[in-house]
Amino acid sequence: MTDLPEELKLVLTFFGGTGDLAKRKLYPSVFNLYKKGYLQEHFAIIGTARQEMSDKEFKDLVKDSIEDFANDFSEQEIDKFISHFYYIAHDVTNIDSYEPLKALVEDLDQKYTTDGNRIFYMSVAPRFFGMIAKSLKSEGLLSTNGYNRLMIEKPFGTSFQTAQQLQNELEEAFNDDQLYRIDHYLGKEMVQNIAAIRFGNPFFDNTWNHNYIKNIQVTLSETLGVEGRADYYDTAGALLDMIQNHTMQIIGWLAMEKPDSFSDVDIRNAKNKAFSSLRIYKGKDEVSQNFVRGQYVGRKSAELNYNQEAGVAENTQTNTFIAGKLEFNNETWKGVPFYIRSGKKLAEKTTRIDVVFKPTAFNFGGNAGLQGYPVLTIIVDPYGSIKLQLNAKAVTDNFFLRKINLDWNVSEQDKTDSPEPYERMIHDTMNGDGSNFADWNGVATSWKFIDEIVKVYDENQAPLELYKSGTMGPDASDELLEKNGDAWVLQGNHRKTIDANL
Ligand code: NAD
């Protein structure tokens, strides 16, 4: 027992406690924190939702969720764990139902001596977020002797205006540093590895700027189509589903300067500074020059086009693919494009970052061959990997260059040891560490940037490029890079490699 970590004391309340996310991710994550000893005796978990349910029924629901979704458990462990769970029926829209919840939170605070520490997790539809936050304050659920933290599921608004409105509502009850906006990509092991690779190695730390980097590429590609989620997807498209949130959050880690320290405050400051220099495109010309939107069509006759999917209108203009070029108007990134792309029904399911370095000016002599661009690749999904493409000498009689690849893959042991993003995010919130959460300034800038693109697309002022499913998107996506003498490092098999040096 000696190597157990110091235990965390709190009452954690889940709104939406009977929902899909709670069952699949949240309860198994809290269970893992319990198994690791972060939660021991002084904690209580409350589940709330509209329906009536006994504590016993709720405990059974949590037990099922752990048995279905946790990796490693014993009956005994689960039973001890779920003895800390309580349920209360609660309609978040009914102000009167906050009083009994308050009584329960206070009661459990006493019973488990949790020092007045409270986390409220809103795993409900986003339209309820503002109302819950305000009611927690007005109905006296916030503790005066411990901490109060609010975890907010996505999406955070659907435009800058709605995000700002939500932020205002949340700020009526909480300070910004008590808000933990979830973007589960920030909880991924390999996304967190960006900081380690960048700042932990002087040869990247010192070269992470326009003097050495030619371009940076971020790809979040899926092979699946809409899979019955057309209701939602047709209103969002790739731009709102993947770019506005996850892709932009990854960009934050890549574009930021080195923070003054590794504290969440300094990390946020450094990211915000980068976001404040993001060039916002205005009007159809700037948007069309820098962004490509696409929609898939079936490659074979048996495959559906996007506009033939159930629930999608034949004349839909929704983007199932986006590629774009971001520019940061600051000294560090002078002239360095950040290319992003995401889409459905693409050739490969992956989340990856490719950092393309410039070749050196050194002349190896006329016959040595051209130097290629060194490339650092960080693969986030579906498996963690770091690759480095370098120039080296070929084994030939005359001095000749060739590309070599260094490759590191996450081990099976690492995979087993890596906490789920939700586990990490809940743990970070318990520790008051906001490093891996979306900051309001970043979210606001991202929306301001995306809103301008949405405006052009909503008015249909930009071409909608069709692409065949199973490719890496429309040719216009490749051409976006070719205009700058660049090429995607990850090519689809529908195109030849454009630049022999890559
Ligand atoms: P869900 O529909 O499965 O669950 C919603 C929960 O809210 C249920 O417990 C329901 O009883 C409760 N609820 C509904 N109306 C209520 C009311 N008036 N008062 C009190 N409780 C009420 O939804 P979900 O899939 O669990 O998603 C929850 C949140 O997480 C959403 O914001 C969603 O966008 C987000 N999210 C979900 C996933 C996922 O994988 N499911 C992934 C990312 C984000």
Q: Indicate the top mutation candidate among 123, 131, 185 to test ligand 1's pocket, ranked by most ligand atoms within 8 A of CB.
A: 123
The sign of the dihedral angle between the CA atoms of 411, 414, 419, 424 is negative
Domain ranges of the chain: 10-153, 186-358+438-497
Active site residue 246: yes
Q: What is the mean pLDDT of residues 85-97?
A: 97
Place of tokens 């939500």: 166
pLDDT-based confidence at 493, cuts 50/70/90? low
Mean of the per-residue pLDDT values of the chain: 94
Q: What is the mean pLDDT of residues 49-61?
A: 97
Q: How far apart are CA 325 and CA 290, in angstroms?
A: 5
Q: What is the mean pLDDT of residues 254-268?
A: 97
Q: How far apart are CA 218 and CA 251, in angstroms?
A: 8
- The CATH code of domain 10-153 reads 3.40.50.720
Q: How far apart are CA 455 and CA 283, in angstroms?
A: 8
Q: Indicate the top mutation candidate among 13, 15, 21 to test ligand 1's pocket, ranked by most ligand atoms within 8 A of CB.
A: 21
- Pair 292, 476: CB distance under 8 Å: yes
Q: Is the CATH code 3.40.50.300 the one for domain 186-358+438-497?
A: no
* Annotated active-site residue in 84, 246, 427, 494: 246
Residue 500 has pLDDT above 50, yes or no: no
Closest CA to 158 of 191, 130, 126: 126
Using a 6 Å CB cutoff, which residues line ligand 1?
16-22, 49-50, 90-93, 123-126, 153-154
Q: List pLDDT tens digits, range 212-240.
A: 999 999 999 999 999 889 999 999 999 99
Residue 179 has pLDDT above 90, yes or no: yes
Residue 502 has pLDDT above 70, yes or no: no
